[in-house]
Chain A
Amino acid sequence: GAGVSQSPSNKVTEKGKDVELRCDPISGHTALYWYRQSLGQGLEFLIYFQGNSAPDKSGLPSDRFSAERTGGSVSTLTIQRTQQEDSAVYLCASSPKTGRNTEAFFGQGTRLTVV
């Protein structure tokens, strides 16, 4: 497809388990973002990948959260030892270039529920 694709669309996991969330950005887009949105809240920045540069991880809430972007394309967000407060919609976005003058295109998100 032409847009940002995220999988799975929904994930229910037990507290303490690890989860992996996948993002397929738009082909050729060099920048990739991860955000999360808790119920009724705004979007919270998590991490930003820009080409081959070191990612901006300043938004990751704890060391249980990590993300990779392999080959400058697909990205995986991993949450270890999930907690109930990790329940949220996790959104991925990509941009065709880095810099101040570029729009980001968002996927539909992965709804994570930790029970």
Chain B
Amino acid sequence: DAKTTQPPSMDCAEGRAANLPCNHSTISGNEYVYWYRQIHSQGPQYIIHGLKNNETNEMASLIITEDRKSSTLILPHATLRDTAVYYCIVLRSGSGAGSYQLTFGKGTKLSVIP
């Protein structure tokens, strides 16, 4: 199963773009890249996911390299409320037909600084 590597922590100035990198060099052709975040004492929150093409929604943009071995989550205008742990996940198959697991690593702790 594909494993992801993220920096343990990053800082970003309020109002600036936050670019969070993720390496997933062993990703398979049909595995999606998901991003979640967890604000302190809350459940994880879905942000965005993609397969090959870049994706954008109201929260963020996801840039996936052509070889799919890495991706970057972009928060275009970070606010203090974006301070959280951000998880990059490659959805992997579980045991049993049609079973899928979100395997959370340690993520990147993003601190947005005033």
Contact = CB atoms under 8 A, between A and B. Distances in A.
Contact of B94 (A58, A103, A108): A58
Q: How large is the interface on A (under 10, 10 to 19, 20 to 34, 35 or more residues)?
A: 20 to 34
Interface stretch (B27-35, B62-70, B75-83): B27-35
Interface stretch (A12-20, A45-53, A62-70, A77-85): A45-53
B91 interface: yes
Interface string B81-114: 0000001000100111111111111110000000
A42 B101 CA distance: 14
Query: Which label, helix, strand, loop or mixed, suits the secondary structure of the B interface?
Result: loop
Contacts of B96: 53-56
Nearest to A92: B43
User: Most chain-A CB neighbours within 10 Å: which of B51, B94, B103, B104?
Assistant: B94
Nearest to B48: A103
A42 B104 contact: yes
A32 to B, nearest CB: 12
B83 to A, nearest CB: 17
A90 to B, nearest CB: 11
B72 to A, nearest CB: 19
Contact of A91 (B31, B44, B91, B101): B44
B42 A103 contact: no
A100 B102 contact: no
Interface of A: 4, 31, 33, 35, 42-45, 48, 50, 53-56, 58-59, 91, 93, 98-101, 103-109
23 contacts: A33-B101, A33-B102, A43-B102, A45-B101, A45-B102, A48-B94, A48-B99, A50-B99, A53-B96, A56-B95, A56-B101, A59-B101, A93-B44, A98-B100, A100-B30, A100-B31, A100-B91, A101-B49, A103-B49, A105-B46, A106-B45, A107-B43, A109-B43
